[in-house]
Chains A and B, each alone.
Chain A
Amino acid sequence: MSVLTEISENLQKGKAKIVKQLVQQAIDEGIPVKQILDEGLLSGMSVIGEKFKNNEVFVPEVLVAACAMNMGAALLKPLMAQEGVEAAGKVCIGTVKGDLHDIGKNLVKMMMEGKGLEVVDLGTDVSPEAYIDAAQNQGCQVICCSALFTTTMGVMEEVVKAAETAGIRDKVKIMVGGAPVTQDFCEKIGADKYTPDAATAADAAVELCKAI
């Protein structure tokens, strides 16, 4: 079995330590960094993402896999910078004000990091101002809002308005998600992008960063 397949399979089992060793081995074998990331770490993570979507694995399984992915990715990061592979972009993410459901938000964050994005984690109970501040002062190109309550979804609209008021609406993209959020809702409040799960959220964020 190639070391890349081994990375993918151990990642799916959440074996973080082994994944780390294998990534180091792959680096030592001279496999290009981008290939280790894509064919080892990300391919394993997309299997898990798919199984999660189909209700075959659940939150603990995804979290350990994502953790293994991030440990492997940490080894690759400095090398990517050396090789001139640039970060795919910079985003900030948080669960909106009044809401502390963060399991989904954390999964999205980990997937985004896996895809090479730099992610500023604003935590939970995040006010509209805090998102805007991150965009203005930390250079985040995409604002990602997560909400799990029908009563806190409305805060996302406030974020869109706050971006307009701050005069940065044309400079940032706003993504929304969480169980009660829908495509309709995204359009209604004038946000830029909704996706239903973490894997597609990460892909979409990469696309949005490219477009800016």
Chain B
Amino acid sequence: MTQKELLFSALRHETTPRAPWVPFADVHAGKLIGADAQQVLTDEDTLLKALLEVNRLYKPDGQPVVFDLQLEAEILGCELAWAADGPPSVASHPLADTMTVPCLCTLPKPEQGRLPLVLNVMRKMKELVGETTALYGLICGPFTLASHLRGNDLFMDMYDDEDYVHDLLNYCTQCGKAMSDMFLEAGMDVIAVVDPLVSQISSSHFEEFLAEPYTELFAHIRSKNAFNSFFVCGDATRNIEVMCKTAPDSISVDENVDILAAKNITDLLCESNSCGMYGKSWMCPPYIGEIETLIQQAKEYQYILVYQIIGQLEDSYDFEGMMETGKAMTALAGAVREKMASCFGADALYLAAGGCGICSRCAKLDDQPCRFPQKALASLEAYGIDVSSLAAAANMKYINGSDTVTYFAAVLFHEKEV
């Protein structure tokens, strides 16, 4: 598995041998070669040179190409104020005094503003490092873009003229789609939608104004067979859940977010279809049943037998090795269920790792009943079990050395007959 594939695997929410690494070098990239922010963001050769230096130095699994939230705004008529130490800022808001929504014919085109420069660098990066490094194209999120265009009055509009805000956000969403299309065509693997302002509003405002635009945007990016990420700056802890519900492939946060609180939410959110299995199998949500009911069911058992499989990998990128171990786990869990059924009683619950895996294509996809109800396996996670806590409780190791991968499975049962 290449470095890039390791990141893709994480974006598909598969278990990876290690966490992928995406150093967020934007104008800092310039610092590495002695160039200032304005030079990096306005000169093609400087930008490319800086990004290649980042790639050489940090050996990233994924790398953003340009982080300038003002790229679209500049094309759409905002004046920019340039600085040596940071990206430019928006200095004027074209819609500040006119409550209008621009015509869709004004959406950015590849020859406008600094797009020719950015698109060229994207193509060159793809050619030079794209084989091994996943490339991120960053677009300005609809809410921040709307505030660039309208200014801070946008916040007041959310109270005084909701319809206007919806219309303006729709325009900005279409802008996001147009930008994504251009970036994908230039070879980007992941589109990151960056919206710092999301940290400044309540969850109910998010649901009222941003849930739809974001769902639409992420679905669009996915329909182009690309990955996406929802970037937010500032303390957006309370909004992580509503952000997840717009179904991005991943969420990117900064140090202001309470990472443990956020993880609790993302762990539970099967609906965000992070593993890609939501709605694809009888043994996965939503068909497996309500999470609360499943947790309750699991809690009714008195005993649990936990077992694990440790797979040896060639290196930390050995994706095939990981898949092999996954298959071995499914086979072992199947054998436990078939050969040891008499030990656990008829009402035992057999849980394995990462969904069912008995059939290569679940009958559910063809609207047919389960082919092997006696063999079908749900995952520990589907029943709300936190596998790393379970491992600790069972006195087993979750991580078993470098270049290994460990899967867990369990049988829950009543009478202690083993």
Contact = CB atoms under 8 A, between A and B. Distances in A.
B201 A106 contact: no
Given A67-B156, A102-B152, A60 B85 contact: no
Interface string B55-86: 00000000000000000000000000101011
B89 A106 contact: no
A61 B238 CA distance: 16
Contacts, number: 54
Given A58-B201, A103-B200, A63 B152 contact: yes
Given A60-B155, A64-B159, A125 B86 contact: no
B323 interface: no
Interface in B76-118: 81, 83, 85-86, 89-91
B388 to A, nearest CB: 29
B158 A151 contact: no
Contacts of A100: 81, 89-91
B263 interface: no
Contact of B155 (A55, A59, A99, A152): A59
A98 interface: yes
Contact of A57 (B90, B91, B202): B202
Contacts of A114: none
A149 interface: yes
Given A55-B238, A106-B152, A125-B91, A61 B202 contact: yes
B205 interface: yes
A128 to B, nearest CB: 15
Nearest to A57: B202
A14 interface: yes
Interface in A51-75: 55, 57-61, 63-64, 67
B91 A14 contact: no
Nearest to A95: B89
B85 to A, nearest CB: 4
A124 B89 contact: yes
A60 B158 contact: yes
A99 B91 CA distance: 10
B159 A151 contact: no
A106 B91 CA distance: 15
Contact of A125 (B81, B202, B238): B81
B132 to A, nearest CB: 32
B89 A103 contact: no
A209 B152 CA distance: 29
Interface residues of B, number: 18
Contacts of B235: 55
B200 A59 contact: yes
Contacts of B81: 98, 100, 125
Task: Give the interface centre of B91, B155, B200, B202 by most chain A CB atoms within 10 Å.
Answer: B155
A64 B158 CA distance: 10
B205 A60 contact: yes
A64 B85 contact: no
A76 B152 CA distance: 26
Interface string B128-146: 0000000000000000000
A209 to B, nearest CB: 26
B142 to A, nearest CB: 16
Would you call the interface of chain B mostly helix, strand, loop, or mixed? mixed
A100 B205 CA distance: 24
Contacts of B202: 57-58, 60-61
A102 B86 CA distance: 16
B201 A152 contact: no
A193 B200 CA distance: 26
Contacts of A59: 155, 200-201
Given A55-B238, A58-B201, A99 B89 contact: yes
Nearest to A106: B152
B244 to A, nearest CB: 19
A75 to B, nearest CB: 20
Interface string A109-126: 000000000000000110
A18 to B, nearest CB: 13
Nearest to A56: B202
Contacts of B159: 14, 60, 64
Interface in B236-290: 238
A131 B238 CA distance: 38
A64 B153 CA distance: 10
A103 B144 CA distance: 13
A50 to B, nearest CB: 16
Nearest to B157: A60
A146 B159 CA distance: 27
Contacts of A106: 152
B293 to A, nearest CB: 33
Contact of A60 (B86, B90, B201, B238): B201
A98 B81 CA distance: 8
A151 B27 CA distance: 12
A202 B183 CA distance: 46
A100 to B, nearest CB: 3
Given A60-B201, A103-B152, A151-B86, 14 more contacts: A55-B235, A58-B205, A60-B155, A60-B158, A64-B155, A98-B86, A99-B89, A100-B89, A124-B89, A124-B91, A125-B81, A149-B85, A151-B83, A152-B85
* 10 closest Cβ pairs, A-B complex: A100-B89, A151-B85, A59-B200, A60-B155, A98-B83, A63-B155, A64-B159, A58-B202, A60-B158, A125-B81
Interface of B: 81, 83, 85-86, 89-91, 152, 155-156, 158-159, 200-202, 205, 235, 238
15 contacts: A14-B159, A58-B201, A58-B205, A60-B200, A60-B201, A61-B202, A64-B159, A98-B83, A99-B89, A100-B91, A103-B152, A106-B152, A124-B89, A125-B91, A149-B85
